[in-house]
Structure 1
Amino acid sequence: MTKSELIAALMRKHPHLQLKDVTLIVNTVFGAISDSLADANRVELRGFGAFSVKERDPRIGRNPKTGEQVEVSKKFIPFFKTGKELHARLNKDRDIP
């Protein structure tokens, strides 16, 4: 689902809201999550999951085009861990060992 599809789905569920209001709500929520992660804070949405930031150590990589070794600096990446309720919902009615 894209951001515009999410906005459209919210518009269908809440027809009394205007498009600009729903867009503002979605952008505010995503902005708050992004800002919190940028400040290295964890964002937990009970029943859905938790967003956090993980650090990747510097390493020696390789340029796939030339095969030359290159130094890759330390970086931070977003990480998402599903909550128990979402995990259960995803695996409901599935025959997965």
Structure 2
Amino acid sequence: MAPFQTNQATMSQDMVTRVGSAAGRVAKIQQDYATQAESETAADAREALASRARAAAEQVIDEQGISIDDYNAVLTAAEGDPDLEQRLLDAAREVL
């Protein structure tokens, strides 16, 4: 399988929408679990929450039909591409 291309010119709007949607939902998961972790004092409980948050985030990404590597590659590409970053933010806002 060929490596995923993160070039703006080759990235489909469908991929941007999928990653943006997943990113919005992952941000919400992180926020929810961070709130829960603040009330926990035991390290084991915090670790369990972090593990559940990771699993929930992975599931959200998988539900969008993309791999975690592709998800991360698109987010990394967006760090150097303001237009791509804005497209991802727009897609993320639609699910929040």
TM-score exceeds 0.5 = no
The structure with the greater share of residues assigned to helix is 2
More contact order relative to length (CA 8 Å, sep ≥ 6): 2
**Higher-Rg member (1/2):** 1
The structure with the greater share of residues assigned to strand is 1
Task: Give TM-score, length-normalised by structure 2.
Answer: 0.31
